[in-house]
Every structure is written in structure tokens, then in C-alpha cells.
Structure 1
């Protein structure tokens, strides 16, 4: 398999569906070896079969990004099996909307464990390898890191944290050749909102999205491809992409 990423190794979290799955396809199509990580291994195996049929080299990593030891093991397995690590795409995420008053705070814990700590653990584990390869870390953030909405305070907090962490990291490593990219999608047609436990919030967002042409996961994967294939002297630090219809 040839392409602009021939010889590169990418690790993509949240690869069992949505943006992560589409990103794995896109990077593999550009010639990268891909390690695909998520909890739903049956979906990962199906994706591996598809990509290998197209000539890609694929490693399946069963992974809960909130488990720091498992994260370090996954990164180590990627480097040992595929030879290096050049691109990390942190796509694993949860969106559990609802008001602060009366909230089920276990939703907050779940989101912070995945959206913030999981992303931080992955970045921390991958960083020594990315420094060696002068690689790229891509953080899938959200419009929620820019636009605060009623009923999404905790989700907003998690995505503001992602952006703050990522900008701090960028300042630490940019002069050492590591590129840090934040991609902030608006409404994307994925399974993300299926996990919402607060029924009124789930109903409200389901109603809103019927009124617009949503982004597709492939649109965000294309933004990732653009960022990671930029010339080495140029960093696309931030991409804010939303549906044309989204106010």
C-alpha cells in the first residue's frame, strides 16, 4: 500500500466507530500502518479485516483509555509490533449532556476519565516515541471547547480541558519537532449522542440535528489527513469545522 504516509505508524483511539474508525481508514489509505484501539474488539476485528483486505498493516488493541497501565501497554505494543509511533489520534470520547442541577455525577466521572484523563494518559505514554520520530498528536476536541450551551456544562468543561492541555503541550514540544493539532468538530453524525443518559437533553439534541445537514465522520478524518500530511516545517494547530447549517 503506497501513499504520503508510507512508512509511518499511527495509533488511533476510539477506532471502533465514528471519527476514530473513519480516521483509521483514511490514514491506512495513505499508506500508514495503523494500530486501532477501543473497547469493542469485535468491531476492531471487522475493521482490521477490511483494511488488511486493502493491503494495510493493522494492529488491534483492546483498550479502555481510562486505564493508565493499559494505555502504556498499548503504546508499547504498537512500537514493538509496528516499529515506531509517528501519529497519535486521540478520538475516544463520551458526550453525556444534562443540567448541573440534579446531575448524575457518575456521568461527569465517566466523561472526565475518557475525554480528559484518557487523552492525557495516551499523550503522556506516546510522547517519548513522538519526540524520537518528530511526530504528530491529534486531539479530537469539539465545538464545545469554544461554544458553551445550556445543559452541557460538564461536557464543555471536558473539552475546554482538552484544549488547555493541548496548547500547554504544544508550547513544551513544538521546538523539538512534535506537532500538536486540535480538531474541533461541530455536529457530526455518530453514535456519540446515543450514550446520553439524561432523557430531555437527548431528546433536545436529537430534535436539533434533524434540522441541519450534519458533518460525517469522513469529513473529520479528512481534516486529520490534512493536518498530519502538512510539510514538517508547518503545523496546523487548530481546525474548527462545523456544518454549514449550524448557527
Structure 2
């Protein structure tokens, strides 16, 4: 078994998840990334080819608990252990509550909120063994509501509450639990196309650096809920 710590990042083929995975690989971690689409994972692994001995890609849908169970088993079999879990997979649909479809509501709740639970439920016994770290990527939408955001707000408010309660439940096992709540991040979220005009936003690797800072924090200290936003809003 390698002495290197192993991290699992859901939704790790692009956006924030990819940025987190890249920073962790650059800093000597083994990293498994998951996503729903094999093609996206293949493209991500190609971009991370400098770390091919330390990275693995696994097709998994966090909405399916059995998928996550199998994914965790594959990670442990491949790397020997699991130390860090980053529940990042998420999506958004935005419309007025009276116009929102049942499909869009369920899509957000089952992916953003239930998915975070599935990932923790599938990995918690391994985290107990490693006295590891579980981190959710929520959003400032988990504390600030806005028009056309009822479903997304509900899912992200839920992620924040779920993570904070999990923190209390799991600290007796020496498992650290935190949630990161980013504001505007330069990603392809909601089909946005990233351009130079997004330079003012938080970059995915900035969230990766924040995750690294949490992992390097003294064991006696736990930043359990972190709000992060661009230093200067776009004018």
C-alpha cells in the first residue's frame, strides 16, 4: 500500500471537480475521479496524463447508491485505501417555482443533495479506517436565495445542512467534515462557455487550493463551513 493519501472527487471530469483533482495530483495525492460520461472521463485523464500512475477515472452516477458503492470498492482495490472524499457532482436548472418541472426539481435534489449522501454513505466506513476527510462542494446559493432558484437553492441549502450535521455525527471517529460554498466560478456549469471575460471569477484551481489548505490544516482545527467569492465583482 502506498503512503500517499487517496482522494475521491465526484464530478471530477471537468469544472471545479477537475480543478480540485489537478491540484491534489500536483501535490502528491492519488486521485480517483468519477463522472456519468465515459468520454468526459477519458478527456480528463488525457489532460492529467502526467500523473497517470496516480489517477483513475470511474464511470459513476451519484444518484445511484450501488454505483457509488462499486466506485468506492474499485478505489480501495486500486489504491489500497481512501482518505479524502469530495462530493462535488452537481447541476442546476433555473426557472420560477410555478414553472419548474418535476423532472428538473428531482434532477437537482437527487444529484446535488441525495448524491452527496450516497457518496458519504458508500465511503464512510473507509473514512473511519483512515480517519479521513469528507468535503462537500455546495454554493453561496446554499445561504442566499434568489428568483428562479427555488430548486437549486433547496438542494444547496440541503447540502449545507446535511454536511454540518454529518460533521457533528462523524467527528467522534476523527473524521473531519467541511462544506465549501463558492460564488461565481469560471466553469461550464449550466452550459456556460468560459472566455477571457470570466477572468474576474474564482477559478476551479482556486477551489482546489482551498481543499489543499483544509487538508493541511492542523488536526485540532476544523473550518467546517467556508464561503468563498470573487475578491472583486465584475463591474
Q: Same fold (TM over 0.5)?
A: yes
**Could you say what secondary structure the match of 1:106 adopts?**
helix
Residues 43-68 of structure 1 show CA distances to partners (whole Å, capped at 9, x for unaligned) of: 32233234342464112110111011
Alignment RMSD (CA, Å): 2.0
**Cα contact 1:142–1:186 (8 A) shared by 2:** yes
- How far off is 1:6 after superposition? 5.9
1:245 to 227, 232, 235: 232
Q: Which runs of 4+ in 1 moved over 6 A?
A: none
Alignment of 1:95 with 2:60, yes or no, is no
2:170 to 152, 162, 173: 173
Alignment of 1:70 with 2:67, yes or no, is yes
Further displaced range: 81-90 or 215-224: 215-224
TM-score computed with the length of structure 2 as normaliser: 0.92
Alignment of 1:14 with 2:1, yes or no, is no
**Cα contact 1:28–1:56 (8 A) shared by 2:** no
Alignment of 1:183 with 2:180, yes or no, is yes
TM-score computed with the length of structure 1 as normaliser: 0.87
2:121 to 124, 138, 157: 124
How many residue pairs are counted as aligned between the two chains? 230
Residue matched to 2:202 = 215
- Listed as ranges, the matches of 1:39-118 within 5 Å are 39-54=36-51, 56-118=53-115
- How far off is 1:176 after superposition? 1.7
Pick closer, same or farther for the CA change 1:222–1:56 going to 2, 3 Å: farther
- How far off is 1:154 after superposition? 1.0
**Cα contact 1:6–1:32 (8 A) shared by 2:** no
**Could you say what secondary structure the match of 1:37 adopts?**
strand
Residue matched to 1:230 = 217
**Could you say what secondary structure the match of 1:182 adopts?**
strand
**Cα contact 2:84–2:133 (8 A) shared by 1:** yes
**Could you say what secondary structure the match of 2:227 adopts?**
strand
- How far off is 1:233 after superposition? 2.3
Residues 107-136 of structure 1 show CA distances to partners (whole Å, capped at 9, x for unaligned) of: 111111110111100011111110110000
- How far off is 1:161 after superposition? 0.6
Rounded to whole Å, the distance in 2 between the matches of 1:179 and 1:106 is 34
Rounded to whole Å, the distance in 2 between the matches of 1:245 and 1:193 is 23
Residues 27-53 of structure 1 show CA distances to partners (whole Å, capped at 9, x for unaligned) of: 111111111100122232233234342
Residues 204-234 of structure 1 show CA distances to partners (whole Å, capped at 9, x for unaligned) of: xx9xxx6992211111111111112212222
Rounded to whole Å, the distance in 2 between the matches of 1:89 and 1:25 is 13
Residue matched to 1:137 = 134
**Cα contact 1:183–1:239 (8 A) shared by 2:** yes
Rounded to whole Å, the distance in 2 between the matches of 1:212 and 1:192 is 15
